[in-house]
Chains A and B, each alone.
Chain A
Amino acid sequence: MSEARHRILQRLRRVERPSGDEELTRSVDRHPWNRDEKIERFSTRMSEVRAEVHLTTKDTWAADLTAILLNKGVRNMVYAPDKPDGSQLATALNAAKIDSVPYAQSIEAWKSELFQQMDAGFTGCRGAIAETGSLILWADEAEPRLLSLVPPIHCVLLQADQIHSTFAEAIEAQGWTQEGMPTNALLISGPSKSADIAQVLAYGVHGPKSLVVMVVQ
């Protein structure tokens, strides 16, 4: 419909630009929080929306998460095999007799299995935002999008020193514009929810019902 395109743009261009428009002055909002404050705020925001936040260490996170999953009665966990964290976790899970299922094929090959049989999914993340309690995820070849969406439990590994105070700060610090956007960038700020039924809050609508965040200090 390039005819439509032409006519729309032509109509828009016929309009005189207002005299008052100058270049926008854009500033990056940020807060002067230190690392501990950022961890604290991130955890509080997450907890407010029923996400689980666990402080852990580089050496113990896999064991800690395995224990949490055992407690939840999880039978299997999907992960990205080409990511070192995923492999590390898989080893710990296998020892605890939880199946670690690599997301190694295209979704078309195993969609019903992913939808119907997977209890939990594990991803890393590209940092977090303290102000709003949000995880930043960039999907890529190694870590597909549906890992953090389809299984009813989503587990995330977050490095504490990658927590930014604000979204704007994260975009700037991580060079989003310079690097170019991925096919899918995502902010996840809790488990799925809705208040559409009589404005009563309910969790686990279509996305994961549980969000478990392991924060490595």
Chain B
Amino acid sequence: MASEFHRGVVKALHDGALRGHLRRAMDSLMEKRQALFPDVDELESLRRRCMQIRAHALANLPDLLEQLEQRCSENGIQVHWAETTEQANDLVYEILQRHGVKQLVKGKSMVSEEMGLNHYLEARGIECLESDLGEFIIQLAGETPSHIVMPALHKSKQEIAELFHEKFPDIPYTDDVDELTAAARAILREKFEQAEAGLSGVNFLVAETGTLCLVENEGNGRMSTTVPPLHIAVTGIEKVVEKLADVPPLLSLLPRSATGQRITTYFNMISGPRKPDEKDGPTEVHLVLLDNGRSRIYADEELQATLRCIRCGACINHCPVYTRLGGHAYGTVYPGPIGSILEPQKEGLDRLGELAEASTLCGACAEVCPVRIPIPQLLNRLRWESVRQDGDDETKGQGGRRKATQAGLWQAWASLASHPALYRIAVGSASRFRRLLPQQLGPWTRVRKAPQIAEKPLRQLIEQEDKRDE
């Protein structure tokens, strides 16, 4: 029975061009990252610190969120809370409506993808224009991002050139990257100038000072949050850190882990709307804090580690499964290893638990995570949650993947393997009747020869040897 994920997998694996492209892109990102971490001890020490900063913030989350709200409000930032994406969309729409906004320019925000904000607003007559170059490209193509940091990763230069030419026929066809970039700059510059409102995400929220921190390379984030008179920031409730002093270590690890850059071109720290005598900047700044299942994840001490994530994408870049599938096959907002632990918990194990199984638990992700999320351990935990019957429904969709036949098989195996005498007989029989073992073992033998059971199992050989030695 093919699931949607399975269909996505098969499609992706057959796309030779995509696979070659992904392989080269991931190799390049891994190399760039590696080059900026020459000192292993220093890297490990920094990872530990960043883990502690995030874990500490999570341990104090409700207090820090209140402190953040307090500081933000004192500074003039209006703070809103949304339990669900519906509520978040309504909030954003309401603010835009109040200002009569018809055109919204967007900096990059994965949370806004989670909200499906663009579709929601467009259905209500508000145009949403992506300004991050990668997001701009996929918006033109009518697609969703395939990577949390580089949304248009799956597209080749030629595909982008054709897309531009199709959408902007006045601009002569070019596949020169500088020319394509210049074209995008010109188009979006006009939009920045005219936009009535700008929307952004947030990378870090600082409770101590009520500050929104944003990283970016292009300048579209600054444009979206500075030029229009209205700025709305949307982010998850888990993004808060306690003190300003917590920011430098995180900023030190985030760009290097994400794209192998020492630092992004801009690091923007917003602590309020335009002050009375200032000449530019938004006159109104809003912050929408979204829950959408995070508080439920928060409730589990082990799974809470999922929320440490600073959305760098390093796990995605190092994942052998993602390298072969790309982001779209996952069918989720967040793909790759982080997606495989986050999405099933947000959307339910009954719906997305399969993602937690689509991993060999190789551990490449955990090795590079800047905040030391033990991803393989959490994947394993989710596999248990998917089939267990003895829980209290703490994890969404708990037990939703349990199948009686599989459970029965594992119980039979357990009964056998916990009784040595029985196991000995079973193994002995397997050896004796090994020639009856089918050589076609379904999918395994489509690309491999079947393993051969030994003529005599080890325990028998040892017993014979021991007898000989006596």
A contact set with B: CB distance below 8 Å: 1-2, 4-5, 7-9, 11-15, 17-18, 21, 24, 26, 28-29, 45, 49, 103-108, 111-112, 115-116, 132-134, 139-141, 144-146, 149, 166-168, 171-172, 176-177, 180-200, 202-208
Contacts and interface: CB of A to CB of B under 8 A. Distances in A.
Contact of B62 (A12, A134, A199, A203): A12
A209 to B, nearest CB: 8
Interface residues of B, number: 94
A197 B152 contact: yes
Contact of A184 (B66, B177, B226): B226
B137 A197 contact: yes
Contacts of B262: 45, 132-133, 189
B91 A1 contact: yes
B313 interface: no
B116 interface: no
A196 B278 contact: no
A12 B219 contact: no
A90 to B, nearest CB: 17
A60 to B, nearest CB: 29
Interface in B237-273: 237, 242-249, 251-252, 259, 262-273
Contacts of A202: 177-178, 180-181
B61 to A, nearest CB: 5
B280 A107 contact: yes
23 contacts: A4-B291, A8-B81, A11-B299, A12-B237, A15-B299, A21-B59, A21-B60, A28-B245, A29-B252, A106-B280, A112-B193, A141-B279, A149-B219, A167-B247, A183-B75, A186-B267, A192-B266, A194-B181, A200-B177, A204-B185, A205-B185, A205-B217, A206-B223
Instruction: From A111, A166, A206, name the one whose CB has the most chain B CB atoms within 10 angstroms.
Output: A206
A116 B193 CA distance: 9
A13 B63 CA distance: 9
A177 B62 contact: no
B295 interface: yes
Contacts of B299: 11, 14-15
Given A15-B298, A181-B269, A24 B219 contact: no
Most buried by A among B81, B83, B87, B280: B280
Top 8 A-B residue pairs of the complex, sorted by shortest distance between their CB atoms:
A207-B219, A196-B134, A206-B219, A5-B81, A187-B267, A141-B277, A21-B59, A202-B181
Nearest to A192: B219
A132 B263 contact: yes
A169 to B, nearest CB: 9
Given A144-B280, A198-B155, A9 B150 contact: no
